[in-house]
Amino acid sequence: MMLAISLVVSAGVMLALSRDLFRLIVGLAVLGSAANLIVFMAARPGSLVPPLIEAGAGQLAAAAADPLPQALVLTAIVIGFALLCFALVLGAWLVRHEGHDDSDRLQDSEPVASDSLKPPVMEE
């Protein structure tokens, strides 16, 4: 499992370091799955005893699975999915308005200086 997570992380980092807008977004999404897997592993999966308190018993059986990380992962997936959708729409919008998908050329908000000492004037 640790090996799998490190594989997913390295794939995510490789994609996220790309200059291509969509690769970057997909890379962050893959990294998100890695983070979710880490939270999931925090529950030490393996126990098959459901986390239900038996009738009459005051507390959980000692071998019961930890229910909390699943709830956490679910929350994280929902938020991550919403952000992913937003980012994909934003990426598509940028590609349509810029005419390219190179993140190095996103320079409308930070114009490149033509003078080496003075920054350029931003027009409103």
Partner 1 sequence: MLVLSPLLVPLLTALLTALLARQPVLRRSMSLLGAAALLGCAILLLLEVVQGGRQSVALGNWPLPYAIEFAADALSAALVLVAAILGAGVLLATLRWGETAEAGAGLHPLLHGLLAATGAVFLAADLFNLYVWFELMLISVLGLLVLGGKRRHGEAAFKYFAVSMLGTLLMLGAVGMIYGATGHLNFGALRVASTEPQLAGALPAYLGLLVLAFLLKAGAFPLFAWLPASYHTLPAPVLALVGGLLTKVAAYVLLRLLGDVFVATPGIMLEALGWLALVTMLSGVLGAAYHWDIRRILAFHIVSQIGYLLLGIALATPAGAAATVYFLFHNILVKANLFLIAGLVFAAAGHYDLRRIGGLYPARPLLALLFLLSAFSLVGVPPTTGFWGKFMLLREAFEQGRYLWGGTALAVGLLTLYSMSKIWLEAFWKPQPDDRPAGSTSAARPSAAYAAVLLLSLLILTMGVFPEPVIRHVELATAGFWSGALK
How many residues belong to the site for partner 1 (CB under 8 A)? 43
| Token pair in block for residue 39 | 């939270």
Binding mask 16-35 for partner 1 (x = CB under 8 A): x----x--x---x--xx-xx
Which single residue is written with the structure tokens 């009738």? 55
Question: Mutual orientation of helices 2-16 and 21-41 as an angle, nearest 10°?
Answer: 160
* Short-list 101, 83, 99, 104, CA closest to 91: 101
Residue 31 beta carbon to partner 1: minimum distance, rounded to whole angstroms: 5
Cβ-Cβ contacts under 8 Å for 26 (sequence gap 6 or more): 15
Residue 20 beta carbon to partner 1: minimum distance, rounded to whole angstroms: 12
Residue 113 beta carbon to partner 1: minimum distance, rounded to whole angstroms: 9
DSSP H helical segments within 1-124, as ranges?
2-16, 21-41, 68-98
- Our finding on whether 8 is near partner 1 (CB under 8 A) is no
* Short-list 47, 93, 43, 96, CA closest to 68: 43
Binding mask 47-66 for partner 1 (x = CB under 8 A): --------------------
- Our finding on whether 101 is near partner 1 (CB under 8 A) is no
Binding site for partner 1 (CB under 8 A): 16, 21, 24, 28, 31-32, 34-36, 38-44, 68-69, 72, 75-76, 79, 82-83, 86-87, 90-91, 93-94, 97-98, 103, 106-110, 118-119, 121-122, 124
